[in-house]
Structure 1
Amino acid sequence: MMGMNIKGSVEKVNGKEMSYSNFVENYLSKNKPVVISGLMKDWKACKDWVHHDDGTPNLQFISSNFGNSNVQVADCGSREFTDQKRLDMSVAEFIDQWIKLSSEELSDHSTNECKDKALLYLKDWHFVKEFPEYTAYTTPLLFRDDWLNMYLDHYHMHEDPDTYKKRDDVSCSDYRFVYMGAKGTWTPFHADVFRSYSWSANVCGKKRWYFLSPEQRHLVFDRNMKNSVYDIFEEVNETIFPNFKKTTWLECTQDQNEIIFVPSGWYHQVYNLEDTISINHNWFNAYNVSWVWDLLLRDYKEASEYIEDIKDICDDFEGLCQRNLAVNTGMNFYDFFNFMVRFSFANIVQLCHLARSSVFDEWCSSSKAQHLIFNLDSTKDITTKMKNTCLSKNHNISLDFRSVLEEPAFLELCFQVDKTYAFIHDQCTLIDDKEKNLMGDLVDMVFCKLISTVVCNPEDLVILIDDILQSLRILPQKKGQNA
């Protein structure tokens, strides 16, 4: 291991014995990794995608049923910039090559030797979006509070038609993926997109994980903090990465039917110790949305510095910076702000329903209400940080409450938010008639003034959230109180 300092293993727990509040308190809010068992028993993927006599992937079933899907496949032996070279092929073509390789007589190799083979690794397959009728799995309760995928089920991240292109790298349809790879395939050292949380479930096979905490991020970058180590098992150049030898690591082996929770900002490198299929989600919520904004701000500064020399001759320098940010990071300031406004509106609608439907004066102390309040309070904290950016200046953002309420996509988002938090907190959903209830509840309560509310900048959103919490006589909650 090139002298790596392994200081411990990732904890393993039984998910059947863990409540949502336990997960929040011990792992989500602490940004701590954990391996969880017992949550995949009834998954269709675990029945259809695996040979139950030996636990190996049922590649023929996958090829026969989903083989026409076009996917990106990583060549694990070929580096391209900061990642592995990607190839475009169908699932059937990928499986044909996998079977061909497996049929050859291969001697055992160490992990370090295996990665040098021309092994192909199918990554980032948007399986749920492509095959919505085939319910391969159900997202476990612990990971349901997923703002990112709830939003992308109803909206594009990029609403500018010049920016949005169907199913391109910039405008991902969702962040739910299937990964498939033979023994020896691997993923280079990285932190996840948006610095989101992720969970990864092994349908079959085993993975080996190596984790570095966010506090040690600076130790794996060069002196200018521009480039990080690509492979922690190659000879790391001490001249380029002088602090790498100071790093300390966590490791773990993830077995079949185990799910690993990867917290925000944790760098990791992963190896498939056996032929493996996994299901993976990237996601964020009130506990880690600050990581998303911090990354956007850091990447924006880098993007603007990179083209600083053309600032004086560029007609729209800020617009160019934001376009580059969207391409490089996956969203820009405007995308993120639109997302935060709509998701805040959806949380406000849920609070309105709770207030109107409850017969108890203490309705706001319910676990669901506290969760919604916590969401809004966290949103306000992040939005306050946006005030001194281009979002506070003149631009084309203008979201008024009435128009958003009339969007069919927003109504569906409200239903998904309602069902999600009802499921998490074991309560009945409150919306039973879409447009009638959504509009009626707001009109016949003290929130009539909200119908004319227009949000054009971060300050508007902060004022709106403050007004809502004050109108409901709610004080903002501290992190952890909704757990």
Structure 2
Amino acid sequence: MGLNIKGSIEKVNGKEMSYSNFVENYLSKNQPVVISGLMKDWRACKDWVYDDGTPNLQFISSNFGNSKVQVADCGSREFTDQKRLNMSVAEFIDQWVELSSVEHGNSLTDECKGKTLLYLKDWHFVKEFPEYTAYTTPLYFRDDWLNMYLDHYHMHEDPDTDKKRDDVSCSDYRFVYMGAKGTWTPFHADVFRSYSWSANVCGKKRWHFLSPEQRHLVFDRNMKNSVYDIFEEVNDTTFPNFKKTTWLECTQDQNEIIFVPSGWYHQVYNLEDTISINHNWFNAYNVSWVWDLLLKDYKEAAEYIDDIKDICDDFEGLCQRNLAANTGMNFYDFFNFMVRFSFANVLQLCHLARSSVFDKWCSSSKAQHLIFNLESAKDIAIKMKNTCLSENHNISVDFRSVLEEPAFLELCLQLEKTYAFIHDQCTLINDKEKISMGDLVDTGFCKFVSTVVCNPEDLVILVDDILQDLRISPLKKGQNG
């Protein structure tokens, strides 16, 4: 049975679209789009591609071949994903070149069956090679709370283990993907229910999208497991509602970037030898999706071990450890993230007030952006109230102590540069005038220096107080930008 294709993804010229247009039409509406015209000056598009559009594998192997990566075997399933292998980039490329001499059939299905098609995924290229600027993140995707935070903090720290973290493989969600014609990614929704963007440096991809509203149609009767491959024969007994699905289809060409919104399930095939650059990210517009996923995964983790609840000394702690292992963060990680990011936005507002030369600074696009961020943080904190976060007395995030963290000040500087770029500000903060505690004091908000956030209610109060003192009215969703 073939898929019921309802339509295709809109394609737009990035040179003709403003940031506010992108926010209004795609980000706030959680709608996919393909954007062209943004990759012309990328170094990767020159170094990694021959003039005929094929990948320059020799250059990549010569310059980055020693990097250790994970490679998916497209013909082998392991649980809900493809089997992963560890090898160097050079070894992967050697196998790719060897396979390229083998003539494949015409059908994608034929190519994927019986062949050892390897697909390099999740290569943390930016972290490994920071001096090699392969690309510049497009304007529309710069408001990336996830990677900004992970540039300075770990999302999860396990105090019960002395195992040294791998700073490359654990600290960002910026990836390079490389695969021969016929490699593919099984049906899935992205990590944390984040947004993602994927840029084709070379090659061509075929995407099939399912909207979040139809998510329930692709799961089994218990809503535990989803379809693995939408082009295999889907068992009606196991997945009784799959035949009701309707799909969007898209062919992404070289030098095109696709925006994948939160919660959109998708399956992707490489129609040609392909190299792509991908980011997962979230911000004020979709951070609620992250919390909703955490809450769902937490309930599943607690249900899974419910039979030992009465004999477990720290059942809640065990649930949170399992949640972090399965999802990548737990409630405490996410709460600390939200508090630090809220502090950073408060400091940004105070710095803006301090440096502004006009009275109506609150009406600027940058100020409106920061206010919207804080309102979103408040909304999430309200959702957190009825969880263990409200009862746990070991949480204590001290504003004064955070302000003294070098990592936090670097995060603030990165946030300032990001929003200056987005909103085309005339001046940038230089390293000598980094945002600091003085911004709070000079703008009359020194009382917030002593703020200690111990639970979601404290975060709600902080946001309300700062906006009230600045005499700022709450924004409606989509009002900023």
Normalised-by-shorter TM-score class: over 0.9
1:358-373 counterparts in 2 under 5 A? 358-373=356-371
CA distance in 2, matches of 1:425, 1:435: 20
Name 1:110's counterpart in structure 2.
107
Contact 1:75–1:84 (8 Å) recurs in 2:
yes
SS of structure 1 residue aligned to 2:358: coil
CA distance in 1, matches of 2:25, 2:125: 31
Name 1:192's counterpart in structure 2.
190
Contact 1:354–1:430 (8 Å) recurs in 2:
no
CA distance in 1, matches of 2:408, 2:330: 21
Contact 1:419–1:429 (8 Å) recurs in 2:
no
1:396-435 counterparts in 2 under 5 A? 396-432=394-430
State yes or no: 1:274 paired with 2:257: no
Q: Which runs of 4+ in 1 moved over 2 A?
A: 159-165, 428-437
CA distance in 1, matches of 2:167, 2:100: 32
1:241-320 counterparts in 2 under 5 A? 241-320=239-318
CA distance in 1, matches of 2:87, 2:367: 47
SS of structure 2 residue aligned to 1:35: strand
Name 2:129's counterpart in structure 1.
131
Report the AA paired with residue 453 of structure 2: V
1:5-16 counterparts in 2 under 5 A? 5-16=4-15
1:172-191 counterparts in 2 under 5 A? 172-191=170-189
CA distance in 2, matches of 1:314, 1:232: 41
Contact 2:409–2:434 (8 Å) recurs in 1:
no
Q: Which moved more, 1:389-398 or 1:124-133?
A: 389-398
Name 1:378's counterpart in structure 2.
376
Name 1:166's counterpart in structure 2.
165
Contact 1:303–1:321 (8 Å) recurs in 2:
yes
SS of structure 1 residue aligned to 2:436: helix
Any gaps of 5 or more consecutive residues in structure 2?
none
Name 1:57's counterpart in structure 2.
55
Name 2:20's counterpart in structure 1.
21
CA distance in 2, matches of 1:286, 1:436: 24
Any gaps of 5 or more consecutive residues in structure 1?
none
SS of structure 2 residue aligned to 1:94: helix
Name 1:392's counterpart in structure 2.
390
SS of structure 1 residue aligned to 2:420: helix
CA distance in 2, matches of 1:174, 1:391: 26
Report the AA paired with residue 26 of structure 1: N
Name 2:39's counterpart in structure 1.
40
Contact 1:353–1:430 (8 Å) recurs in 2:
no
Q: 1:99 to 1:413 in 2, by over 3 A?
A: same
Residues 359-394 of structure 1: CA deviation (Å, up to 9, x unaligned): 211100000000000000011001110011011112
CA distance in 1, matches of 2:454, 2:157: 16
TM-score with structure 2 length normalisation?
0.98
RMSD: 1.4
CA distance in 2, matches of 1:433, 1:9: 46
Contact 2:156–2:328 (8 Å) recurs in 1:
no
Contact 2:207–2:269 (8 Å) recurs in 1:
yes
Contact 2:412–2:435 (8 Å) recurs in 1:
no
CA distance in 2, matches of 1:424, 1:430: 12
Structure 1 residue 103, shift from structure 2 partner: 2.0
SS of structure 2 residue aligned to 1:211: strand
Report the AA paired with residue 419 of structure 1: K
Name 2:480's counterpart in structure 1.
482
State yes or no: 1:97 paired with 2:119: no
CA distance in 2, matches of 1:172, 1:437: 28
Q: 1:436 to 1:92 in 2, by over 3 A?
A: closer
Of all paired residues, the percent bearing the same amino acid is: 88
Report the AA paired with residue 335 of structure 1: D
Contact 2:206–2:251 (8 Å) recurs in 1:
yes
Q: 1:373 to 1:434 in 2, by over 3 A?
A: farther
Q: 1:338 to 1:435 in 2, by over 3 A?
A: farther
Structure 1 residue 161, shift from structure 2 partner: 3.6
Name 1:141's counterpart in structure 2.
139
Q: 1:460 aligns with which of 455, 458, 461?
A: 458
TM-score with structure 1 length normalisation?
0.97
Q: 1:341 to 1:45 in 2, by over 3 A?
A: same
Contact 2:199–2:256 (8 Å) recurs in 1:
yes
Q: 1:446 aligns with which of 441, 444, 457?
A: 444
